[in-house]
Amino acid sequence: MTRAFDRNRLADAKPAVLAPLAETPFHPRLAALALTNDWYDWAGFKAPASLADEELEYFAIRSTAALFDLSPMTKYCIAGPDAEAFLNRLTLRDVSKLAVGRVQYTAWCDDEGHVLDDGTLFRLGRDAFRLCCQERHLPWLLDGAARYGVTIADETEAVAGLSLQGPVSCALLRAAGFAGIETLKPFELRAFPHVAGEVVVSRTGFTGDLGYELFCPAEEALSLWDRLAVHGERHRLRVIGYSALNRARIEAGFIVANADFITADTALREDRVRLPDEIGLDWMIDPAKESFNGRRAILAARETGRLRHALVGLEIEGSVPAPLAIVYHRRKREAGLITASTWSPFLKKTIAIASLERPFGVGVVDDLWTEIYALHELAYSKLMKRVKIVPRPFLRLPRRIATPPADI
């Protein structure tokens, strides 16, 4: 039976571009704190860039405790008797080595070895996993799973997430009744009782600091928020937006999909895609692992020297950040592009992540410059600043891995 064409119904339909952004389960609490009204679109969700003061939000990460809404992050539930085999075929790292109750930072590629995304893989049980990432991949995942005994479900909306970061984050969780949280090791996860269900807490984060990520059913989100907020004032807890988090993640040297590299399925030009070795993920690859997406192409590129790019850390002289600035060799020849940059209050330096065209960043590492256009009083000043290649992460904090964390 063919459905009749209804012009009136079509006229009343709201164009997708005008559809309002979705609100996360924590939005009522965020909206009450959003003095700046500074929102942005994160994967179709309304998310805060800042809530009150970006500087204070950053210093909460490094000095006390900071709370960030992770709910818009894409989350897939992957389960079934072949879940391990499927994920081992999909991702770069060896999933058979991932124990139950552990988390693995990983990435996955297309058949040509180009990176599709990076993310975290949580092993919740023998045959149950949660894959968290930046982009949406459900059709591609389902196609790849056709021959495996596995089910894949998008649980982005069903599962709410919070990131609690900072030197007093462990003390706050302990005060909130998460008994034994101080024994949780980096990249370890554990379920804790909450209301009639549970909260899964992992010792992970995107700041390079002591921190945790908490996941619960969306319907229990506000009760989880309030459970933490009760102890927030005593522990100087501050809710933060992405601007502060982004500054901390640059200090930690972490990369962001479609910011520091273009994902293979969104790149419009062939020369925009990246192999794992070209974005600093070469350490993930074990040539002894027999089969994973892109293996043949990745190893062939290594053998034939077809690696064209290098992702590097930079220190920039002066105090002016240089996001999306061009890097030059000897002030003349273009060597690459700065993908992320910030002034680090902790390090008292201007730092950056840059994608350079080889041999720059590998064989050629000296006499590099960047061109910055600094805005002062309605006028731009062109600045040529020397840059120096330095290791990432820029910031290493012993408390990030100390177990148990210091009792603050």
Residues in binding site for substrate: 213
| 211-217/74-79 β-pairing | unpaired
Within its chain, how far is the Cα of 223 from the centroid?
25
Residue where the block lists tokens 């700046």: 36
| 159-165/189-194 β-pairing | unpaired
Amino acid at residue number 275: L
CA torsion, ordered 143, 146, 151, 152, to nearest 10 deg? -10
- Residues 121, 202: Cα–Cα separation, whole Å: 11
Contacts of 224 (CB under 8 A, 6+ apart): 160, 162, 194, 199, 214, 216
- Residues 30, 51: Cα–Cα separation, whole Å: 8
- Residues 247, 386: Cα–Cα separation, whole Å: 21
- Residues 401, 167: Cα–Cα separation, whole Å: 11
Is 359:341 a contact under the CB 8 Å cutoff? no
Residues linked to residue 380 through DSSP beta bridges, in sequence order: 375
- Residues 381, 266: Cα–Cα separation, whole Å: 34
Work out the angle at residue 214's Cα, subtended by the Cα atoms of residues 118 and 284, and round it to the nearest 5 degrees: 25
User: DSSP 3-state assignment of 56?
Assistant: helix
| Residue ranges at the known binding site | 213
- Residues 304, 203: Cα–Cα separation, whole Å: 39
